[in-house]
Amino acid sequence: MKERFFHEKNVQIVPFFPDTSSSSLEKATGEHEEELTDDVDDDGVEWEDFGFDLEEDEGKNTEKDGGETIFEYKIEENVRKKGHRIKEKDRKLRLEIHKLHLLCLISHASLRNYFCRDKRLHDKLRHILPHKVRELIHPKVKTSEYRNCRMFITALRTIVHIWSRKFKKNKYGLSKSLWKSPDQINRPQNNNLYDNISGFEDFLKAAEDLKGSRDLGAQLFVAFLRSNNIKTRLVAFLQPLSYGFDKSNTLHDSTVSEENYIHEETNKHPNCNTFTTIERFLESIRPFKRPCLDHSITHCSNILNANLGEIKESLHPFYWAEVLNPITQKWIFVDPMVSCLIGKPSKFEQLVSKSGNSLSYIISLDEDGYVKDVTRRINCHITQPYDTIEDQEFLQRQVFEKIPKNIKYLKDHPLHLKKDQFIDSKKPCSFITVKKNGNMVKEPIFYRKDIVTVLPASKWYHCGRKIKFGEQPLKIVQKRIKNSVSDQLDHNISYTTVGLYSESQTELYTPPSVVNGKVPRNAYGNLDIFVPSMIPQGAVYLPFPGISLAARILGIDYADAVVGFKFEKRLSLPIIKGIIVAQEYEEAISLAFRIMKEEEHERLSQKMRNIILARWKRFYRKLCICERLKEYDKDKRPFIAKSLYHFSPYILKDQNLEKNTHFGFKNVPESQKEHLVHNVFTSVASSYDLMNDIMSLGIHRCWKDQFVQRLNPGWLNGEPMNLLDVAGGTGDIAFRLLDYATDVHFDTQTKNAENLTDIASSSINIYTIAFGIRNCTRMMDVLREAYRVLKPGGVFSCLEFSRVSVKPLEPLYNYYLFNIIPIMGEIVAGNRDSYQYLAESIVKHPDQKTFSKMMESAGFRLIGDGYRNLSFGIVAIHTGIKPR
């Protein structure tokens, strides 16, 4: 604490201090805050405001004799608080929120632009425009372009005036988005003061009422112009949340400045309506705590506040229109709701800068939904003023650059001539002084347009041109010659001169013509065809590899075509592609070449077929060896026989040929299959039902329910009936059938389905077999035996796996059968081979149509197609009736 005393006689003294008071510092901070943020705040530190507080101590004010008054002030030396460091994660969070908010604003503008394209909206707004104004926009009488342009601008002013009188503002519009503290977030908001447009129907209702916010009015104005065939774009001024940490982007009680907004009652705009007063505004708040989008501080007109007075709408709009002038083909700025400006975007920029907002994002949306950034057109301060001045200075220097006064500045200069360039001009445009042998000599300077490209005769020949007779080279340069191809030493390289010519000194090269079918050749026995014009007259170029063989076979004269050169191992080698022949031989050579290619293709195909057959033969022999090893019995040694014409051995077991059947993918004797199937189901009996549930995810129960319901066991009207369920397994089908019976008598037997000797003929009403017939050795015997035991009119029904009817599903189903089910069997039942057989037996079972034909062969009359697919044909229900 320091004390200072000021003495003066009969005078009120105000102490003089350096301008470091709190108010002055806040003013200085406000003026230079943005500059400090951009240029100084690189270390992530935000400096807080500070000042000296003056306190007057009345107890120490004394008055001495003689009228001398002593004022004593105590000045507290405030120690500046430690700066608050902004964390890097907070900066990243604000940047991400800024991006997200920007995308939301663009999406909102795009949706409103989509609404403005709707024809129903156009039908409601089209009638607002008077007929006379429409004639000014689309004049029928042809006049000068100047007059049409003036008429168009006049019509736009009239349309803006009409719209401003029609549309009434009674809602809040958008404003600059600010960050809010938690206390401000929790305060109640009156959502009735904002536009409630949740969909197109609300947007259409607003078009009927012609009431809403000024943003809504600008959007409907765009639709109004489009309804009258005026090409219009919707322009949106986007103000997303700032990613900076300066206080101007945070909501405070003093955020709103009265001079930056328009009072609706004092505005002379004709479409102004007043708002009703609302409750007191937000109380004084604490500094920024956490981010939140600000939508309650939207500045609108005539809102009274106890602390701030009136919050008024900003001087600039957030939505406006751009109209294409059909005469000048330029877009015209049109603001129908706030400033009523037409074609004056510079004034709009002044209004924005006065409001404290930044012209960062301005987008335009055309009728097709195309979004374009037009910020540069509105904001002329994208670059700093000194950047513009510097760019103009460089441009001026580039245009009016003077010739260098020293020869060293011309070396490696962009304007310096290259080796293959020549100045084709007699008159220089300027001179440069060069010192030669102690004397100052003037050298001529020429324009760049006088420079022409010059090439040697060999290069022009590669371009299909030759040097005119009597032409002299414009330029002579040195040409390097290698004395030895393999020698790379400098002393083995000598130089000679070569002349360079311009294109004006050349003419088109004309090769010799074809005479009596003979093609001209060069000294190397071929013909140069670097460009199409080098093809001789009467000849044709056939650019097909290998076609020279066809010409040799037919004995036709031809010449190889050299189309360029390639460099390999320091040698220049010609590139030969195709041949040159006389035109009368073109068809014959082409036909011969086509036949040759077909023969070559057939030869390669035959070679590939021979390779494939040889591999199949080898594979077949290996299979035969495997089968012989399986059939070899140590106790009963097989007999090996040889065919007279076939040397592959085969086996005759006991010299008796026994019929084989399939057991999955294996072929086994018919006598063994029953035993093998019995072993399969015995080994998995304990986990049979569990595996069925796991493999089919419980769907097999639905299949069985549909199978029984399709039978409708009550079809005999209460009369006694006999049901036979073959291959019943755990009784799933039998128990479902018994659910329909009132009095039950059942019996179980172990029989072979191919020979039901204990069951009388014509004694069964319903014969069922589910997931069992594919395991039988002879399915036709099973069907015939079922036909025998059924009564006339009895029903045969079979539920069995079949072929998938949806082709795209078939590979996935097969993969599940052969890769997933065996693994499940190994994990759950501990038996992989049994479930491998299950998958193989499903594939070996006949498809739906084949099995239906087998039922017909057994004597059954089919119902419909004889089958009904379940689950895309994974299983099928086959039904047949024994004729009466």
Q: Which amino acid is at 341?
A: L
Looking at the predicted structure, is the pLDDT value of residue 684 above 50? yes
Both structure tokens of 789: 């035991």
Both structure tokens of 857: 């062969």
**What integer is the mean pLDDT of 854-878?**
89
Are residues 677 and 773 located together in one domain of the fold?
A: yes
- For the chain, give the percent of residues with pLDDT over 70: 69
Query: Alpha-carbon Rg of the chain, whole angstroms?
Result: 50
pLDDT for residue 263: 40
**What integer is the mean pLDDT of 713-741?**
75
pLDDT bin (cut points 50, 70, 90) of residue 613 is very high
Choose among 465, 528, 473, 527: nearest CA to 501. Answer: 473
pLDDT for residue 193: 75
pLDDT for residue 581: 92
- Contact of 884 with 794, CB cutoff 8 Å: no
Domain of 308, CATH number, reads 3.90.260.10
Annotated ligand binding at 743? The verdict is yes
Compare 379 and 791 and report the one with higher pLDDT.
791
- Residue 474 within any structural domain of the chain: no
The alpha helices in 116-247, defined as continuous H runs, are 119-125, 131-137, 145-166, 182-185, 200-209, 214-227
Exposed/middle/buried for residue 364 (C-beta within 10 Å: 0-12, 13-18, 19+): buried
pLDDT for residue 387: 56
The alpha helices in 749-790, defined as continuous H runs, are 779-789
- Residue 390 within any structural domain of the chain: no
Compare 589 and 8 and report the one with higher pLDDT.
589
Both structure tokens of 331: 């877009």
SS3 assignment for 84-111 = EECCHHHHHHHHHHHHHHHHHHHHHHHH
Please give the Cα distance from 753 to 309 (Å, whole number). 101
145-169, pLDDT tens digit by residue?
A: 888 888 888 888 888 888 888 888 8
Are residues 145 and 287 located together in one domain of the fold?
A: yes
pLDDT for residue 618: 92
- Residue 109 within any structural domain of the chain: yes
Are residues 206 and 295 located together in one domain of the fold?
A: yes
Are residues 313 and 441 located together in one domain of the fold?
A: no
- Residue 150 within any structural domain of the chain: yes
Our CA dihedral for 139, 140, 144, 150, rounded to 10 degrees, sits at -10
Compare 258 and 481 and report the one with higher pLDDT.
481
pLDDT for residue 607: 93
Please give the Cα distance from 343 to 574 (Å, whole number). 67
pTM as predicted: 0.35
pLDDT for residue 399: 45
Looking at the predicted structure, is the pLDDT value of residue 798 above 90? yes
330-387, pLDDT tens digit by residue?
A: 888 888 888 888 877 666 666 666 655 666 788 889 888 888 888 776 665 555 555 5
Are residues 361 and 433 located together in one domain of the fold?
A: no
Choose among 573, 577, 571, 572: nearest CA to 527. Answer: 577
- Residue 865 within any structural domain of the chain: yes
- For the chain, give the percent of residues with pLDDT over 90: 10
pLDDT bin (cut points 50, 70, 90) of residue 294 is very low
Are residues 369 and 432 located together in one domain of the fold?
A: no
pLDDT for residue 84: 61
Are residues 57 and 93 located together in one domain of the fold?
A: no
Choose among 176, 198, 46, 182: nearest CA to 112. Answer: 198
Are residues 208 and 295 located together in one domain of the fold?
A: yes
508-567, pLDDT tens digit by residue?
A: 988 888 888 889 988 888 889 999 988 998 899 999 988 999 888 888 999 999 988 888
pLDDT bin (cut points 50, 70, 90) of residue 92 is confident
pLDDT bin (cut points 50, 70, 90) of residue 492 is very low
What is the bridge-based pairing of β-strands 309-311 and 303-305?
antiparallel
pLDDT bin (cut points 50, 70, 90) of residue 80 is low
Domain of 632, CATH number, reads 3.30.70.2460
Mean predicted lDDT score pLDDT of the chain: 74
Domain boundary among 640, 656, 672: 656
Are residues 644 and 687 located together in one domain of the fold?
A: no
pLDDT for residue 304: 30
Please give the Cα distance from 379 to 646 (Å, whole number). 95
SS3 assignment for 642-698 = CCCCCCCCEEEHHHCCCCEEEECCEEEEHHHHHHHHHHHHHHCHHHHHHHHHHHHCC
**Count of domains for the chain:** 5
- Residue 64 within any structural domain of the chain: yes
Going by C-beta distance under 8 Å and a sequence separation of 6 or more, which residues neighbour residue 749? 758
What is the bridge-based pairing of β-strands 493-502 and 451-455?
antiparallel
pLDDT for residue 359: 66
Burial call 729-755: b when 16+ CB within 10 Å, e when fewer: beebbbebbeeeeeeeeeeeeeeebbe
pLDDT bin (cut points 50, 70, 90) of residue 27 is very low
Are residues 596 and 681 located together in one domain of the fold?
A: no
Going by C-beta distance under 8 Å and a sequence separation of 6 or more, which residues neighbour residue 490? none
pLDDT for residue 768: 92
641-666, pLDDT tens digit by residue?
A: 443 334 444 444 444 456 778 787 87
Give the Cβ contact number of residue 619 at 10 Å: 10
For 288, list phi and psi in degrees, rounded to 5.
-55, 130
Our CA dihedral for 221, 223, 226, 227, rounded to 10 degrees, sits at -110
Compare 184 and 802 and report the one with higher pLDDT.
802
Both structure tokens of 691: 């595996």
- Residue 478 within any structural domain of the chain: no
Both structure tokens of 515: 């005479």
Looking at the predicted structure, is the pLDDT value of residue 867 above 50? yes
Greatest CA separation for the chain: 158
Domain boundary among 613, 633, 656: 656
**What integer is the mean pLDDT of 383-401?**
56
**E strand residue ranges, 248-394:** 261-262, 303-305, 309-311, 313-314, 319-325, 330-334, 361-365, 371-373
Choose among 579, 548, 550, 537: nearest CA to 562. Answer: 579
Looking at the predicted structure, is the pLDDT value of residue 274 above 50? no
Domain boundary among 635, 656, 677: 656
Residue 448: which domain range?
407-455
Looking at the predicted structure, is the pLDDT value of residue 71 above 50? no
Domain of 775, CATH number, reads 3.40.50.150
- Contact of 866 with 820, CB cutoff 8 Å: no
Please give the Cα distance from 637 to 626 (Å, whole number). 16
- Contact of 162 with 338, CB cutoff 8 Å: no
Looking at the predicted structure, is the pLDDT value of residue 229 above 50? yes
pLDDT for residue 718: 59
CA separation (Å) from 537 to 507, 510, 530, 579? 17, 9, 15, 15
- Helical (H) or strand (E) element with 23: helix 22-39
Looking at the predicted structure, is the pLDDT value of residue 239 above 70? yes
Q: For the ranges 185-199, 592-606, 861-875, which has the lowest average pLDDT?
A: 185-199
Q: How big is the CA angle at 288 (ends 286 and 291), to the nearest 5 degrees? A: 135
pLDDT bin (cut points 50, 70, 90) of residue 287 is very low
- Residue 491 within any structural domain of the chain: no
Are residues 339 and 436 located together in one domain of the fold?
A: no
Annotated ligand binding at 276? The verdict is no
- Contact of 639 with 633, CB cutoff 8 Å: no
pLDDT bin (cut points 50, 70, 90) of residue 876 is very high
Both structure tokens of 196: 């409630």
Please give the Cα distance from 652 to 673 (Å, whole number). 20
Are residues 373 and 435 located together in one domain of the fold?
A: no
CA separation (Å) from 245 to 75, 94, 461? 32, 9, 71
* DSSP annotation string for 37-66: HHHTTTSSEEPPP--PPEEE-GGG-EEETT
pLDDT for residue 316: 74
